[in-house]
Amino acid sequence: MTRRESQASPLWIPCRARFQAVAVADTLFAPGPIQDTIHVSGSPDSLSDSLTVEIGDTVAASSTITPLAGRPVVFTITTPSIAGPVTLVTSDTAHALVTADTVTTDARGLAAVKVRLIAGPPPDLVEVTASAKRGVSAKLPGSPVTFRVRVQP
């Protein structure tokens, strides 16, 4: 009687996996001025210039910043603390009261809002913060950016 030994061979299954590199957001900054002035000049409805931030990925080898599209930025009115006299708008025709808004960065990595005076006596100063996170919890370096809009007659 012959003994037959079975030899186990490793199972070989070819597998292809595709990986897509996703740029890591590592900076939030204001590419322009962080201060503005609204001149009321008799009009109860005045609009600020754009309050703009950029989200980017810093390329270490060249120290350049690659703009990142599709990233959420939260803009919040922090002063005045009472809702009503000012609102955040993303359109020049908007008038609804919005004290916090999430804006997605465009293809240039930019997100922006404007401040509009809407009701009641205008405040002397409006402060707006723009903040973003890396992933789900960690604040993005440079976050928050604080904008100051002065209101003058």
Whether the predicted model's global pTM rises above the 0.75 cut: yes
pLDDT tens figures, 95-126: 899 999 999 999 999 999 999 998 788 899 99
CA 142 to chain centre: 11
Q: What pLDDT score was predicted for residue 121?
A: 86
Does residue 129 carry a pLDDT above 90? yes
Which string of DSSP letters, residue by residue, matches 88-130? EESSTT--S--SEEEEE--TTSEEEEEEEE-SSSPPSEEEEEE
Q: What pLDDT score was predicted for residue 151?
A: 92
Does residue 135 carry a pLDDT above 90? no
pLDDT-derived band of residue 153, with 50, 70 and 90 as boundaries?
Answer: confident
- CATH number for the domain whose boundaries are 27-152: 2.60.40.10
CA of 50: how far to CAs of 44, 62, 96, 152, in Å?
19, 29, 17, 18
Residue 46, C-beta contacts closer than 8 angstroms, at least 6 positions apart: 38, 39, 40, 116, 117, 122, 151
Higher pLDDT, 76 or 14: 76
Query: For residues 73 and 55, what is the distance between their CA atoms, to the nearest angstrom?
Result: 9
Beta-ladder partners of 54:
29, 110
